[in-house]
Amino acid sequence: MPIMTDLHTELKASIIEQLNLEDMEVSDIENDEPLFGDGLGLDSIDALELIVLLEKDYGIKLTDPKKGREIFESINKMADFIEANRTK
Amino acid sequence: MYINGMASIAAQTEEDLFAGDLKSFQQNIFPATIVNYKEYIKPMMLRRMSKAIKMGLVAAKQALNEAGVEVPDSIIVGTGEGCKQDTEKFLENILDENESFLTPTAFIQSTHNTVGGQIALDLKCTGYNMTYTQNSVSFESALIDAKLQFAEDPDTRCILVGGVDELAKTSTPFYNLDGQLKAGEINTTQILQSESGGTITSEGAAFFLLSEIRTQDSFAEISDCMIYREISEEKLQEEISWFLKKNDLKPEDLDAVILGNNGDKRFDHYYHQLQDTIFKNTLQLGYKNWVGDYNTVTAYACWLGAEILKRNEIPQQLKLNNLDVKQPKSILIYNQYLGKNHSLTLLRSL
């Protein structure tokens, strides 16, 4: 069971703000919930927003957008990827 | 073209309009009424939409609903300035992020054809989709295109046509800089008596489901529409008479005229001279002192005229003279902005 960190909370807050997820609170997003499809229901435009978010907030430039599918699977996956690759 | 369904969102509600309960504003820029958009648009779609998209999509859906049509054959939208809110957001991003880290959403949705595109996506309509941007005749341009579509394509049975424009927090007040808006203390109910230049502005959307053939749902007809980029005051009366004549009417046959008086002393003389001459004995209605002036406000005027024909009822607060009509059958809409882009739209009851 992954540990809930400040990064998890920070990511949820950023996603809510950046993707205009109105009426949604940090506590509404589960760490292992799929962000796309049947989970949170994000779409391809959101994926582009998340790529920009990674670069802007954590200094991670995603050179292969195809990797996004795996990285953006859930908050847990995103947090793991950011911890391993962040430059800021 | 027959109107089978229509809807409008503006600074005044339909209920207040016909109840004689229109409200005044104390500022030269005022918003459209609050609508529960969530009733019509899924939350995940709604979150990205600026006001123009929300107003346009909801008005479009309401018009289709009234006509009992799920998907139109074509979608034609008029918008003078398009999605200004997202344009501002995108430009602010460029400045804030020093031209890097630009997110796609605001850019994608900043284009003028976003409203038409979003309506098509929502309805899954893959037919002809066009947006006209031609200042204050944007809606009329869309109407004329609809007429041409019906004339050229026998398979086109119904077309969704609308006009939409939104306010934006930075770019709308730019109109203060070149005198398009009134300066100083404003009470919108007083502007038509104003002795100064400039007007008041707002936002809105009005959509119509049109068919070339009369159906059981048809309740009014848009008989004709003309645009004049520029026209002299002297020539205007002549053109109106010619326009009416080609529709088998004389000025005195009209039951009402809906005029675009907006309180701008520099240009309202175009209306005043008609009010004092060929329309002297015709019921005159004005609406911009209640809903503001914006590029596609004539879509509201068209909705207003059709609603009057549908209800057989005149909103008393709009009257510019003391005449009355019991059963209006023919209504002419005349509009111009800053002395340019004059338009004539003729509505008839069925």
Residue A4 has a pLDDT of 62
B31-48 residue pLDDT tens: 999 999 999 998 888 999
Query: Distance between CA atoms of B128 and B142, rounded to whole angstroms?
Result: 12
Number of separate domains in chain B:
2
Q: Bridge partners of B331? A: B256, B347
Same domain, B153 and B267: no
| Domain presence at residue A51 | yes
Residue that has been written with the tokens 């979150």 in this structure: B47
Contact B50, B83 (CB under 8 A): yes
Domain-located, residue A3: no
Same domain for B45 and B183, yes or no, is yes
Going by pLDDT thresholds of 50, 70 and 90, the confidence category of residue B217 is: very high
The predicted pLDDT at position B348 comes to 98
User: Residue A49: which domain range?
Assistant: 43-88
pLDDT at residue B69 is higher than 70? yes
Residues B203 and B310 in one domain: no
The shortest C-alpha distance from B73 to chain A (Å) reads: 28
Domain assignment present for B292: yes
- Per DSSP bridges, beta strands B129-132 and B74-78 are parallel
- Of B186, B211, B236, which marks where a domain is finished? B211
Domain-embedded: residue A38: no
What integer best gives the mean pLDDT of chain B? 96
If asked whether residues B42 and B144 sit together in one domain, one would say yes
**pLDDT above 90 (res B331):** yes
Q: Label residues A10-41 b or e (16+ Cβ within 10 Å = b).
A: ebbeebbebbebeebeeeebebeeebbeeebe
Assess if residue B216 is contained within a domain. Answer: no
Residues B300 and B203 reside in one and the same domain: no
The answer to whether A56 contacts B48, with C-beta atoms less than 8 Å apart, is no
| B70 shares its domain with B191 | yes
Residue (of B290, B286, B256) closest to B271 by Cα position: B286
Q: CB–CB of B44 and A23 under 8 A? A: no
The reply to whether B274 and B150 lie within a common domain is no
What strands, in cross-sheet order, belong to the sheet with B256-259?
B129-132, B74-78, B158-165, B204-211, B2-9, B220-228, B340-349, B330-337, B256-259, B283-286
Q: Is residue A66 part of a domain?
A: yes
Nearest to B101 among A22, A23, A56 (CB): A56
Same domain, B206 and B225: no
Nearest to A46 by CA among A88, A16, A6: A16
Is residue A38 over pLDDT 90? no
* Two tokens, residue B286: 């004005």
Q: Do A18 and B103 touch (CB under 8 A)?
A: yes
From the list A67, A57, A83, A66, the residue with the least C-alpha distance to A2 is: A83
Residue B96 touches partner A, C-beta closer than 8 Å: no
Identify from A18, A45, A57, A88 which residue to disrupt to test chain B contact, counting B C-beta atoms within 10 A and taking the largest count. Answer: A45
User: Does residue B291 sit in the same domain as residue B319?
Assistant: yes
Q: Are residues B97 and B69 in the same domain?
A: yes
For residue A18, the chain B residues in CB contact (below 8 A) are: 103
Which among B44, B97, B108 has CB closest to A41? B44
Q: Is residue A12 part of a domain?
A: no
Q: Is B43 on the interface with A (CB under 8 A)?
A: yes
Containing structural domain, residue B203:
2-211
Q: Is residue B323 part of a domain?
A: yes
Domain containing residue B245: CATH number: 3.40.47.10
To the nearest whole angstrom, how far is the Cα of B95 from the nearest Cα of chain A?
15
Least confident piece of the model among B148-162, B182-196, B223-237 = B182-196
Q: Where does a domain end: B189, B211, B233?
A: B211
For residues B85 and B184, membership in a common domain is answered with yes
- For residue A32, being part of any structural domain is answered with no
The percent of residues above 90 in pLDDT, for chain B, comes to 93
Quote the tokens at residue B183: 């300066």
Q: Please give the C-alpha separations between residue B280 and each of B123, B246, B252, in angstroms, as whole numbers.
A: 46, 21, 9
Q: How far apart are CA A26 and CA B61, in angstroms?
A: 33
Lowest mean pLDDT among A39-48, B176-185, B260-269: A39-48
Q: Are B204 and B297 in contact (CB under 8 A)?
A: yes
Question: Do B103 and A52 count as a contact with CB atoms less than 8 A apart?
Answer: yes
Instruction: Round to whole Å and give the CA distance between B246 and B178.
Output: 39
Residue in B with minimal Cα distance to A49: B103
Inter-chain CB proximity B46 and A18 less than 8 Å: no
CB contact under 8 A, B105 and A49: yes
Instruction: Find the CB nearest A22 among B47, B97, B101.
Output: B47
ipTM of this complex > 0.90? no
Final residue of a domain: which of B180, B211, B242?
Answer: B211
Indicate yes or no: CB of B43 within 8 angstroms of CB of A22: yes
Residue B266 lies in a domain: yes
Helices B51-67 and B84-96, packing angle to 10 deg? 160
How many structural domains is chain A composed of? 1
- CA B246 to CA B258: how far, in whole Å? 20
Q: Which helix (H) or strand (E) holds A13?
A: helix A6-18
Cα separations (Å) of A57 from A48, A78, B95, B302? 14, 13, 17, 49
Contact B101 A22 (CB under 8 A): no
* CB-neighbour burial class of residue A84 (10 A; exposed 0-12, middle 13-18, buried 19+): exposed
- The predicted model scores a pTM of 0.93
Residues from chain B that touch A45, judged by Cβ atoms under 8 A, are 48, 104-105, 108
Q: Let me know if residue A57 belongs to a domain.
A: yes
Residue B246 shares a structural domain with residue B269:
yes
Can you tell me the mean pLDDT for B341-350?
98
Q: Which of B223, B207, B225 is nearest to B67 (CA)?
A: B207
Q: Could you tell me which residues are beta bridge partners of residue B201?
A: B29
**Contact in structure between B209 and B39 (CB atoms under 8 Å):** no
CB count, 10 Å around CB of B15? 8
pLDDT at B248 (0 to 100): 97
Query: Chain A within 8 Å of B105 (Cβ-Cβ)?
Result: yes
Distance (Å, whole) CA B104 – CA A23: 22
Examine residue A69 and state whether it is found in any structural domain, yes or no: yes
